[in-house]
A and B are shown apart, each in its own frame.
Chain A
Amino acid sequence: DGGITQSPKYLFRKEGQNVTLSCEQNLNHDAMYWYRQDPGQGLRLIYYSQIVNDFQKGDIAEGYSVSREKKESFPLTVTSAQKNPTAFYLCASTVQNRGIRGTEAFFGQGTRLTVV
């Protein structure tokens, strides 16, 4: 079945450490996104990538980094510079053909990151 796989489901990080969240999709989608969700808040965009080897900052990119070396993969690294990394992280993907607009995003099951 096609879909988006995020791993791990739960992640614990010590202060000062970098951690990488995995996101893999087999939907053949061009665009991928990382969102952060905090309690009582909607999802906020961290980074997005519309094509391989290219990515752009979203609204809250500070303290995060990404790469897009393969169409299927869009890992997110939470660096030690991120002041408050404890949150729920969701990866999404969309079709990005020119003729298709407003297509719905497909989401992974999320990674819950806790700083200990």
Chain B
Amino acid sequence: AQKVTQAQTEISVVEKEDVTLDCVYETRDTTYYLFWYKQPPSGELVFLIRRNSFDEQNEISGRYSWNFQKSTSSFNFTITASQVVDSAVYFCALSEARRGSTLGRLYFGRGTQLTVWP
């Protein structure tokens, strides 16, 4: 069974601090995809990144970076120099890729509420 765990329910930081959001996943599949989504107060989920299980190279996009470690089944997300606009709920999710799976179906963690104070 697929499972995604985000142990941090809420995180508060002051602007310009760095913050890391943790994500640990479980799957028996050898091929899978991992995602991060941002949910601002307006409610829609905004796609941030997709990573497939064969690509463990870390990725940086501006102030955002992601650390994928297959050995520990983790896919952590770091925001550098946080800003008030980063305040949102962040979800980590996993998608199956094996034959017969429901392509596109996501398994979500419970989310981490990030609050950045000015």
The number of chain A residues touching the other chain, given as a range, is 20 to 34
Query: Which residues of B have CB within 8 Å of A104?
Result: 35, 47, 50
The size of the chain B interface, using a CB distance under 8 A, is 29
CB of A96 closer than 8 Å to a CB of B: yes
Q: Tell me, yes or no, whether A11 is within 8 Å of chain B by CB.
A: no
Is the beta-carbon distance between A110 and B44 smaller than 8 angstroms?
yes
Selecting from A41-49, A61-69, A70-78, the interface stretch reads A41-49
Q: Which residues of A contact B (CB under 8 A)?
A: 31, 33, 35, 40-45, 48, 50, 56, 58, 88, 90, 92, 94-96, 101-110, 112
20 sample A-B contacts, Cβ–Cβ < 8 Å, listed by A number = A35-B108, A40-B9, A42-B91, A43-B45, A43-B106, A43-B108, A48-B104, A48-B105, A90-B44, A92-B106, A95-B104, A96-B103, A102-B33, A102-B50, A103-B50, A103-B103, A103-B104, A105-B45, A106-B47, A112-B43
